[in-house]
Amino acid sequence: MNEYKFIVHHIANIFILFFVFSFSLVEYSYADRQFPILRDSIEQVQQGKALYDQNCASCHKKDLSGTKNWRSTDSDGHTVPPPLNGTAHTFHHSDELLHNIIKYGFNNLIKNYQGKMLGFGDKLSDNDIDSILAYIKTYWSEDIYLNHLDMSKNE
């Protein structure tokens, strides 16, 4: 019986050590990564949400889903608002370009662009725009966010 208790005790200790070690590996593997909500302060993300709701949601939708057929044009031939939630192409653009699109509008950045995205530079500060981007990125998957982070660092 004592031998049985001895074996159970050691198995329990090994089991506990395994879990402690596993959790320390998980913590270590995430320690150097930056995620939207961790990289940007919660206050910045909350401010970004409020600013997004006031300035962007009317076109890109409150849930960032954009227009259903976002690759198409409207009846006037204008491109329609794409999703910003990681299901479209937003994350293919660097932080700098995304910032400038919000600030100056697509039409002022790309010659002959047929969209309705006007600039908000007269209404939003650079910090406001960065807060909106911080909020948008909270909708992106970890993979999309990390790829975007790498891309933005290299531009």
Number of Cβ within a 10 Å radius of residue 97: 13
Q: Apex CA 124: angle with CA 121 and CA 127, to 5°?
A: 110
Q: Please say whether the beta carbons of 83 and 70 come within 8 A.
A: yes
Q: Please say whether the beta carbons of 80 and 59 come within 8 A.
A: no
CA trace torsion 23, 150, 59, 85 (10° rounding): -30
Residues 6+ apart with CB under 8 A from 91: 140, 144, 145, 147, 148
Number of Cβ within a 10 Å radius of residue 101: 20
Give me the tens of pLDDT residue by residue for the chain, a chain 155 residues long. 566 666 756 565 565 645 444 544 444 333 444 444 355 688 999 999 999 999 999 999 999 999 989 888 888 888 889 999 999 988 888 899 999 999 999 888 877 777 788 899 999 999 999 999 999 999 999 888 888 888 877 76
Q: For 38-153, CATH number?
A: 1.10.760.10
Helix (H, G, I), strand (E, B) or coil at 143: helix
Q: Where are the domains of the chain?
A: 1-32, 38-153
Residues 6+ apart with CB under 8 A from 28: none
What's the burial of 39, exposed, middle or buried (CB within 10 Å: 0-12/13-18/19+)? middle
Distance from C-alpha of 93 to C-alpha of 37, rounded to nearest angstrom: 20
Distance from C-alpha of 1 to C-alpha of 7, rounded to nearest angstrom: 10
